[in-house]
Homo-oligomer: A and B are copies of this chain.
């Protein structure tokens, strides 16, 4: 009579009872990484070396699994390693550091296209540059603007077919909001300490398993899951805006952009908060307060119920209230705030929520009323306020979901619902539907565009069946399906080609984590999931990864100004013949 419990390990550790091989790097480990690397580049001026990305180089899956399975004997941790991307003498270096031996075990000079994620230091420096540039200062004077009220921001520029590229950002006036009523959204003037930010990819859920009350043991579900990329192409083809086709993870860092969560408003009163650490551009650890919160969600939902009225003179009603466990982070990438929820239900379902809020991408314009927009003129957005246009754009959230259902070897099964004609002349009905299941053999079979046909998509373990003979599995219940509207040979769409399908399935490969590739700034799309999938590898009864892209097209409305009421989208992974029966039939929730 105990309620099922979900084991959650995330990329942050709040007084962990014991060390786990997937723990993120601690402050002392981050310091050690910095020391090891700066020692190896002693001749260069230190200002010449910058840390763009410092994260745990997680042990290989077999090491983790053997550590897990022998856990009762307190086995030693696998070697702790760090993966670092550094810039040194205008080159991008991929460095792997072994912390136990305090040594660099591999260094690779990246020769391909694209550049690493921008650091905050770089973005800050770039944003200040215009203020020492005389023509810019003149221009401010000419407009009678007070320099202290002007903000510049650094934007990635993408790639549009240039033969040679270098690291470049474009600097734009930060939102030239007119002094209109209704643009102030602060309750009070605020709070000094400059924002702690988290590096890496944001929330990583590792080794999520579920306790099977009948089998009396934990069963594997998700080896590792995270948001791999968020592709946000704006839809204004003019000189000032055409290049705004952001990759929020690869260019800006979705974890680096995490906001400290505010108790009682960002998370409910019963939330627990977790701090985290990242390495700044100099390799120094920076503490982040309240990077994550974890809470039990009591939303008033019903876990299951039934009222039975068919039995004469008896009324049977059984109801169980629902409660779930939510892991939340908020990533603020420039103007947009993404509320990322991982919701674990006692029934075994995992719900993935994204709340979109924050400030729209806006541009100035000469209009104050739509009547002024004449004829064929396209303003590429919605007029929100005086001289303020909210620009059309998309959001494509690509989730990396390494499902290991009851073990590593899994298959991807697509079950289509097909109309059949009734053949029996005694039956007056003409038609019905039935299911036809196909197991994907290679990556080509694993690509799915949703919405074209009625289908169920599941990852199953073909080697584990229920007593009834059904393969144990988890089903994808998609949400907010969108398809890209750019032409496929357009540069942003080549770089964002992982959005061409809503679902991809690849064989597990530790190095294949990033839907847009590892060096995304100014990338040319030669390292995307779409390119990797072309290898058409075997995926049947293999260790496979499900990539799901949830998307939405955003036509702004005036309500989205000046701060957007949260728009919520989400999808669900739901056990399907994973359990022998309803796993919460015996749940008691108080």
The docked-state distance in angstroms from the alpha carbon of A421 to that of B313 is 70
Known contacts A237-B429, A422-B237; decide if A299 and B297 are in contact (CB<8 Å).
yes
Known contacts A319-B265, A553-B454, A565-B303; decide if A429 and B491 are in contact (CB<8 Å).
yes
In the complex, chain B residues whose CB is within 8 Å of the CB of A350: none
Convert A290-329 into 0s and 1s, putting 1 for each residue whose CB lies closer than 8 angstroms to a CB of B: 0000010111111111111111111111111110001000
Pairwise interchain contact A582-B553, C-beta atoms closer than 8 A? no
Whether a CB of chain B sits under 8 angstroms from the CB of A108 is no
Pairwise interchain contact B584-A195, C-beta atoms closer than 8 A? no
Chain A residues 421-435 with CB under 8 Å of chain B are: 421-422, 424, 426-435
Contact of A186 among B298, B318, B348, B565 (CB under 8 A): B318
Chain A residues 550-579 with CB under 8 Å of chain B are: 553, 555, 557-568, 574-579
The docked-state distance in angstroms from the alpha carbon of A305 to that of B582 is 38
Chain A residues 251-267 with CB under 8 Å of chain B are: 259-260, 262, 264-267
* Segment among A10-18, A353-361, A402-410, A513-521 that sits at the interface with chain B: A353-361
Whether a CB of chain B sits under 8 angstroms from the CB of A481 is yes
Convert A342-385 into 0s and 1s, putting 1 for each residue whose CB lies closer than 8 angstroms to a CB of B: 00010111000001011100000000111100000010101111
| Nearest-CB residue, chain B, relative to A189 | B316
In the complex, chain B residues whose CB is within 8 Å of the CB of A559: 347-348, 574-579, 581-583
Which secondary structure dominates where chain A touches chain B?
A: loop
Whether a CB of chain B sits under 8 angstroms from the CB of A337 is yes
In the complex, chain B residues whose CB is within 8 Å of the CB of A355: 301-302
A372 to chain B, nearest CB (A): 8
A418 to chain B, nearest CB (A): 8
Known contacts A237-B432, A267-B300, A566-B302; decide if A124 and B312 are in contact (CB<8 Å).
yes
A353 to chain B, nearest CB (A): 9
| Nearest-CB residue, chain B, relative to A419 | B485
Whether a CB of chain B sits under 8 angstroms from the CB of A236 is yes
The docked-state distance in angstroms from the alpha carbon of A466 to that of B368 is 11
* Segment among A34-42, A223-231, A468-476 that sits at the interface with chain B: A468-476
* Segment among A62-70, A79-87, A238-246, A532-540 that sits at the interface with chain B: A238-246
The docked-state distance in angstroms from the alpha carbon of A483 to that of B418 is 12
In the complex, chain B residues whose CB is within 8 Å of the CB of A320: 265
In the complex, chain B residues whose CB is within 8 Å of the CB of A128: 312
The docked-state distance in angstroms from the alpha carbon of A271 to that of B298 is 13
Convert A376-396 into 0s and 1s, putting 1 for each residue whose CB lies closer than 8 angstroms to a CB of B: 001010111100000010000
Known contacts A185-B585, A370-B469; decide if A317 and B561 are in contact (CB<8 Å).
no
Whether a CB of chain B sits under 8 angstroms from the CB of A117 is no
In the complex, chain B residues whose CB is within 8 Å of the CB of A384: 468, 581
Pairwise interchain contact B470-A370, C-beta atoms closer than 8 A? yes
Whether a CB of chain B sits under 8 angstroms from the CB of A235 is yes
Pairwise interchain contact A428-B160, C-beta atoms closer than 8 A? yes
Pairwise interchain contact B304-A330, C-beta atoms closer than 8 A? no
Whether a CB of chain B sits under 8 angstroms from the CB of A339 is yes
The docked-state distance in angstroms from the alpha carbon of A265 to that of B321 is 5
The docked-state distance in angstroms from the alpha carbon of A193 to that of B310 is 14
Whether a CB of chain B sits under 8 angstroms from the CB of A580 is yes
Whether a CB of chain B sits under 8 angstroms from the CB of A130 is no
The docked-state distance in angstroms from the alpha carbon of A430 to that of B159 is 12
Known contacts A485-B433, A558-B468, A585-B185; decide if A264 and B305 are in contact (CB<8 Å).
no
Whether a CB of chain B sits under 8 angstroms from the CB of A268 is yes
Known contacts A195-B307, A419-B485; decide if A239 and B563 are in contact (CB<8 Å).
no
Chain A residues 156-185 with CB under 8 Å of chain B are: 160-161, 174, 182, 185
Whether a CB of chain B sits under 8 angstroms from the CB of A27 is no
Pairwise interchain contact A470-B558, C-beta atoms closer than 8 A? yes
Convert A22-35 into 0s and 1s, putting 1 for each residue whose CB lies closer than 8 angstroms to a CB of B: 00000000000000
The docked-state distance in angstroms from the alpha carbon of A584 to that of B193 is 28
A330 to chain B, nearest CB (A): 7
In the complex, chain B residues whose CB is within 8 Å of the CB of A199: none
The docked-state distance in angstroms from the alpha carbon of A345 to that of B186 is 22
Contact of A564 among B392, B454, B566, B582 (CB under 8 A): B582
Pairwise interchain contact A486-B316, C-beta atoms closer than 8 A? no
The docked-state distance in angstroms from the alpha carbon of A128 to that of B401 is 53
The docked-state distance in angstroms from the alpha carbon of A195 to that of B582 is 26
Chain A residues 38-91 with CB under 8 Å of chain B are: none
Pairwise interchain contact B565-A584, C-beta atoms closer than 8 A? yes
The docked-state distance in angstroms from the alpha carbon of A183 to that of B482 is 41
Convert A451-472 into 0s and 1s, putting 1 for each residue whose CB lies closer than 8 angstroms to a CB of B: 1001010000000001111100
Whether a CB of chain B sits under 8 angstroms from the CB of A99 is no
The docked-state distance in angstroms from the alpha carbon of A108 to that of B368 is 58
The docked-state distance in angstroms from the alpha carbon of A536 to that of B298 is 47
Whether a CB of chain B sits under 8 angstroms from the CB of A439 is no
Q: Identify 28 residue pairs between A and B in the complex whose beta-carbon atoms are under 8 Å apart, listed by A's number.
A: A128-B312, A151-B311, A160-B428, A160-B429, A194-B315, A237-B429, A237-B431, A242-B427, A259-B305, A268-B321, A298-B299, A301-B355, A302-B357, A303-B566, A304-B564, A305-B566, A306-B337, A347-B559, A378-B434, A380-B434, A382-B577, A417-B555, A431-B485, A557-B575, A559-B576, A559-B582, A561-B581, A563-B582
**10 A-B pairs with the lowest CB-CB distances in the bound complex, closest first:** A370-B469, A160-B428, A268-B300, A299-B299, A265-B319, A430-B490, A259-B307, A347-B565, A433-B485, A451-B451
